[in-house]
Amino acid sequence: MPLVANTSLPTFDRLRQEGETVLDPARAEHQDIREIHIGLLNMMPDAALEATERQFLRVIGESNQIAQFYVHLFTLPQLPRGEKASTHIKKYYESFESIQQEGLDALIITGANVTLPDLEKEPFWEPLIDVIDWAYEHVPSTLCSCLATHAVLQFRHKQKRQRLPEKCWGVYRHEVVDRHHPLTGDVNTLFKVPHSRFNEVTRAQFEDAGLHVLVESPEAGVHLAVSEDLFRIVYFQGHPEYDINSLLKEYKREVNQFIAGKRNSYPPFPENYFTIQTQGILHEYQEQVITALAGKNTVPDFPEALIAERLHNTWHDTGEAIINNWIGHVYQTTNTDRKKCFMDGINPDDPLGIRAKYNK
């Protein structure tokens, strides 16, 4: 069902150009269709800010529930921003205070750029905790992506993520380990998911926290887990929202870092992502780069367009199906009355609490 362009956010026009259905607010108002209001806390750095908008709005809009999706973007003012990103945020994003006043049916929290060994020292730590605390009491379900998952595990469950020997980077095969949970009951039992991280929370840590693992990989570890009540918080360590070229662009950035002298070694390939033919092209480019640097000559352009046409997306459909199941749960378990209960701090499944609050 369609996204509703509830702001002039450029991402809506970009999605229309890609063939996505995006309704103008005036048209949406004349349709007798249920509204779902989803918050997107976008903590990604400037270079990935708008791409992250597109990725999550796309996967939300492609879910097939009978609803109109209003997505409310916000970020944390404590995150350092450049002038361009600051202008974009000021023009198109909402404040957390306005989000709190209006309420949400669901919330997605993205990852963030981490510069320090301890998450508690990051500038986003305290304000992120405020959002997580509020969401736990007032939003029916919150989906955490990658870094957000690590932050919640550390904050709520005292489970600190662990540094990996080397970066978990590539597209990995995963298996559904609980085929009966509503999030995974009707999806492929084997599927692939992209990962890109230097740290992980292990299966043992998820289980020690009383959380329920749904999907994992022998190479990449846990991808999907849920809170003890099965839906209040959904945890991703992988990135099913990634575009087909997201890892390619990340690889290109790493290559450019090497060319600029900001990394010591030429980057390895993301695992299970490039074909043998593509690897051959990139090996040839690597030789050209090293030769040019050694001779202090101009480095040739990265062959991005040539590589992009040889990529394969092996994760989008299953990722979309899981997001669809999540939104389906939100759709089935939220309505105006339930939303009011959450906003008033009342458990909508507690009839005694509801009577005590509203039937005085």
Active-site residue numbers? 146, 239, 241
CA Rg value for the chain: 21
CB 161 within 8 Å of CB 304: no
Going by DSSP bridges, is the β-strand pair 212-217/221-226 parallel, antiparallel, or unpaired?
A: antiparallel
CB 119 within 8 Å of CB 156: no
Instruction: Report the C-alpha gap between 239 and 199 in whole angstroms.
Output: 14
Residues in contact with 335: Cβ distance below 8 Å, sequence separation at least 6, in sequence order = none
Nearest to 113 by CA among 154, 159, 160, 148: 148
Q: In this structure, which amino acid lies at residue 112?
A: A
Length of the chain: 360
Helix (H) or strand (E) holding 202: none
